[in-house]
Every structure is written in structure tokens, then in C-alpha cells.
Structure 1
């Protein structure tokens, strides 16, 4: 394996890995079951302690 082979592998599969990670985070953020958690977190700065 040359440097070029390793570089090509890292570029290709690194891009796929990061894309899938991004899609997973977007799905997590818009999942209906997480709505209450994110709504509560968005109100934290407005709470009076």
C-alpha cells in the first residue's frame, strides 16, 4: 500500500463516514421523541432561578 492508496481510501471512506454521521445527527435532532428534551433545553436561558 502506497501513500496514494491510503490517502484515497481515507478521503473516500472518511467522506462517507462523516456524511452518515451528519445524517444521523439530523435524524436525532428532528426525531419526534426528542421534541420535549430540546424544548426544555431551549428554555434554560430564560428561566429565573
Structure 2
């Protein structure tokens, strides 16, 4: 009984949660203003201190 219940949960709600998390990560990366932060982070290894 436990396996079937967990399998049903994984097939429905867990899959939906993972898909929403993935879409949220993509939306966070493409938000306005993130380009400047990404460019600044990309230049960190090249800085001479």
C-alpha cells in the first residue's frame, strides 16, 4: 500500500512541483536586471587584485 501511494504522489504532485521549480528558476534567471549581475559575476575571475 505504501509503495502505490508514494508512486501515485510522485507521478502527480511531485512532478508538478518539480516542473514549477524549473520554470521558476528559468524565470529568475531571465528577470529584468539580471544581465548586469551576470556580466559582473562573469568578470570576477579576470579581476586583478
TM-score by length of 2: 0.78
Asked if 1:33 is matched to 2:33, the reply is yes
- Residue range with higher mean Cα deviation, 3-12 or 18-27: 3-12
Higher relative contact order (CA 8 A, sep 6+): 1
Which structure is higher in helix share? 1
Partner of 1:13: 13
Aligned residues: 48
Root-mean-square deviation over aligned CA pairs: 1.3
Q: Which runs of 4+ in 1 moved over 6 A?
A: none
Length-normalised TM-score, structure 1: 0.78
Classify the secondary structure of the residue corresponding to 2:48. Answer: coil
Gapped regions of structure 2 (runs ≥ 5): none
